């Protein structure tokens, strides 16, 4: 087994594996990476708002953080704290879903629908 499987002296140097690296493909990949970083930065600056029951409003950032939570005083019923808790969770979860959906849709447009797990 003294002979190398890579005849031609160097990986991609013209033998057997497609004839080397396509520089245009590398440039396209680098551009896509730059575009993805720009898009991610822009998405992180966005906010996504959701309301539940008209009495609770949650605002999430593109970073997945709740940046604002507003509760209308009429929603505060000491006899029914559970209802308020459920309403808050519904508003927060919907705001977070909106942020995630925007991220997924934007990345899908950039990558041509290829899921890169981002």
Q: Which two tokens stand for residue 75?
A: 């929603």
Considering the domain boundaries, does residue 90 fall inside one? yes
Burial class (CB in 10 A: 0-12, 13-18, 19+), 23: exposed
Q: Which two tokens stand for residue 67?
A: 């940046």
Q: Which domain holds residue 70?
A: 47-111
Residue by residue, DSSP assigns 10-46 as STTSSSSSSSS--HHHHHHHHHHHHHHHHHHHHHHH-
Dihedral sign, Cα of residue 47, residue 50, residue 117, residue 106: negative
Considering the domain boundaries, does residue 10 fall inside one? no
3-state secondary structure of 9: coil
Burial class (CB in 10 A: 0-12, 13-18, 19+), 1: exposed
pTM given for the model:
0.65
Considering the domain boundaries, does residue 68 fall inside one? yes
Q: Which two tokens stand for residue 109?
A: 């447009």
Considering the domain boundaries, does residue 23 fall inside one? no
Considering the domain boundaries, does residue 85 fall inside one? yes
Considering the domain boundaries, does residue 100 fall inside one? yes
Considering the domain boundaries, does residue 15 fall inside one? no
Asked if pLDDT for residue 52 goes beyond 90, the answer is yes
Q: What is the pLDDT of residues 63-118, one digit of tens each?
A: 889 999 999 999 999 999 999 999 999 999 999 999 999 988 888 887 776 666 65
Q: What is the pLDDT of residues 16-25, one digit of tens each?
A: 455 567 888 8
Total number of domains in the chain: 1
Asked if pLDDT for residue 33 goes beyond 80, the answer is yes
We report the CATH number of the domain holding residue 53 as 3.30.1310.10
């Amino acid at each position: 087994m003294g002979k190398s499987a890579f005849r031609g002296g160097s990986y991609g140097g013209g033998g057997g594996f497609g004839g080397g690296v396509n520089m245009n493909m590398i440039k396209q990949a680098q551009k896509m990476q730059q575009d993805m970083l720009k898009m991610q930065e822009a998405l992180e600056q966005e906010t996504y708002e959701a309301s539940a029951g008209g009495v609770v409003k949650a605002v999430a950032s593109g970073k997945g953080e709740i940046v604002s939570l507003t509760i209308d005083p009429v929603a505060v019923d000491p006899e029914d704290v559970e209802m308020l808790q459920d309403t808050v969770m519904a508003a927060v979860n919907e705001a977070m879903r909106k942020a995630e959906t925007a991220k997924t849709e934007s990345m899908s447009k950039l990558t041509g629908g290829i899921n890169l797990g981002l």
